[in-house]
Amino acid sequence: MTPPNAPRTAADDAALRALYGRAQARISAATTARLHRARHAATTGAPARRGWAWPVAAGFAALFALAIGVQSLAPLPPATGEAAPVPVLAEADGAASIEDGVADALATYEESPDFYLWLAANESTLLAME
């Protein structure tokens, strides 16, 4: 027996052709026809199904139409010659109370030694984030 990676010779080709001819003679006509139909069906291939193409395309179109509609409903910015109205954010007393709250929150960090211990313990992590 010859090794599988050895080059084929003319004698090998003749032996294979003879073996193929004997095998082909033993196959019935019905089997040959069935194999022919199967080979023909495999080579032509089935048409590509596009079941989801239209619904997905329609969904994207509707989404873009909705985005354009929402954008057109947004108020227009004032023209360059007109002055925009200035909204009043808070009264003077309300602003002072917010500043006091921020100052109180910062004061708790200044008085707490636990904050500085935590900061020293996490210094390597904070430096790695920079």
pLDDT for 91 beyond 60: no
Both tokens of 8, joined, read: 């084929």
Mean pLDDT, range 98-108, rounded to an integer: 72
Mean pLDDT, range 92-104, rounded to an integer: 65
Q: CA-to-CA distance for 129 and 123, rounded, in angstroms?
A: 10
Mean pLDDT, range 40-44, rounded to an integer: 86
Q: What is the pLDDT of residues 57-79, one digit of tens each?
A: 999 999 999 999 888 887 776 66
Contact 78, 84 (CB under 8 A): yes
Both tokens of 35, joined, read: 């194999």
pLDDT for 124 beyond 90: no
Contact 23, 32 (CB under 8 A): no
Mean pLDDT, all residues of the chain: 78
**The pTM of the whole model exceeds 0.75:** no
